[in-house]
A and B are shown apart, each in its own frame.
Chain A
Amino acid sequence: MTFINESWGVCTIKRTGIEIFLKVLEEEGVDTIFGYPGASVIDIYDALVKTDFKHILVRHEQGAVHAADGYARASGKVGVCLVTSGPGATNTVSGIAAAHADSIPLVVFTGQVPTGLIGNDAFQEVDIVGITRPCTKHNYLVTKIEDLAGSLREAFHIARSGRPGPVLVDLPKDMMSSKAELKPAKSVELKSYQPNYKPNVRQLGKVVALIKKAKRPLILAGGGVILSKGAGELRKFAEAIESPVTTTLMGLGAFPTNTSKWLGMIGMHGTYRANMASANCDLMIAVGVRFDDRVTGKIDAFAPKAKIVHIDIDPTSIRKNISVAIPVVGDCRETLNMLNELVAAQVEGVFNGSRGAWFDQIEEWKSTKKLDYHQKNVIKPQYVIEALHRLTKGEAVITTEVGQNQMWTAQYYHFDRPNCFITSGGLGCMGFGLPAAIGAQIACPDRVVVDIAGDGSIQMNIQELATAVQYGLPVKVVILNNQYLGMVRQWQELFYDKCYAGTCMEHAPDFLKLAEAYGALGLRATRPEQVEPVLREGLSAPRTVVMEFKVEREENVYPMVPAGAPITEMLLV
Chain B
Amino acid sequence: MNQEKEEKHILSLMVDNRPGVLSRIVGLFSGRGFNIESLCVAETADADISRITLVTCGDMGVIEQIKKQLNKLINVIKVVDFMDMSFVQRDLALIKVRAKPEHRAEILRITDIFRGRVVDVGSEFYTLEVTGDLEKIDAILGLLKPMGIKEIARTGTIALPREKRK
Contacts and interface: CB of A to CB of B under 8 A. Distances in A.
A361 interface: no
A8 interface: no
Interface stretch (B68-76, B101-109, B157-165): B68-76
A411 B94 CA distance: 65
B65 A319 contact: yes
Given A2-B16, A315-B68, A320-B65, A133 B24 contact: yes
B64 A192 contact: no
B74 A316 contact: no
Contacts of A130: 20, 23
B72 A319 contact: no
B1 interface: yes
Contacts of A158: 74
Interface string B15-56: 010011001100110010000000000000000000000000
A279 interface: no
B65 A134 contact: no
Contact of A316 (B1, B20, B69): B69
Most buried by A among B19, B69, B72: B72
Which 3 residue pairs spanning A and B have beta carbons closest together?
A: A192-B77, A316-B68, A138-B74
Contacts of B78: 192
Contacts of A322: 1
Interface string A135-153: 0011001000000000000
A495 interface: no
Contacts of B28: 134
A134 B27 contact: yes
Interface in B59-87: 61, 64-65, 68-69, 71-72, 74-78
Given A190-B74, A191-B77, A323-B2, A141 B61 contact: no
A30 to B, nearest CB: 21
A191 to B, nearest CB: 6
A515 to B, nearest CB: 41
A123 interface: no
A314 B72 CA distance: 8
Contacts of B20: 129-130, 133, 141
A141 B24 CA distance: 14
A528 to B, nearest CB: 48
Contacts of A134: 27-28, 31
A133 B75 CA distance: 13
Given A314-B72, A316-B72, A133 B23 contact: yes
Interface of B: 1-2, 16, 19-20, 23-24, 27-28, 31, 61, 64-65, 68-69, 71-72, 74-78
Nearest to A322: B1
Interface string A294-326: 000000000000000000001110011111000
Nearest to B1: A323
A319 B69 CA distance: 12
Nearest to B72: A316
Interface residues of A, number: 21
A141 B78 CA distance: 23
Contacts of B2: 323
Contacts of A315: 68, 71-72
A192 B24 contact: no
A294 B69 CA distance: 22
Given A130-B23, A133-B23, A319-B65, A192 B72 contact: no
Contacts of A2: 16
Nearest to A163: B72
Contact of A192 (B1, B68, B76): B76
Nearest to B30: A134
A386 to B, nearest CB: 41
A196 B64 CA distance: 18
Contacts of B19: 141
Contacts of B74: 137-138, 158, 190, 192-193
A323 B4 CA distance: 13
Interface in A312-345: 314-316, 319-323
A211 B72 CA distance: 31
Interface string A105-140: 000000000000000000000000110011001100
Contacts of A316: 65, 68-69, 72
A322 B71 CA distance: 20
B21 to A, nearest CB: 10
Contacts of B72: 314-316
Contacts of A193: 74
A319 B27 contact: no
B68 A133 contact: no
Nearest to A158: B74
A409 B78 CA distance: 44
A190 B77 CA distance: 9
A314 B73 CA distance: 12
Nearest to B24: A133
Given A138-B74, A192-B16, 14 more contacts: A130-B20, A133-B23, A191-B77, A192-B74, A192-B75, A193-B74, A314-B72, A319-B1, A319-B61, A319-B64, A320-B65, A323-B1, A323-B2, A323-B61
Contacts of A192: 16, 74-78
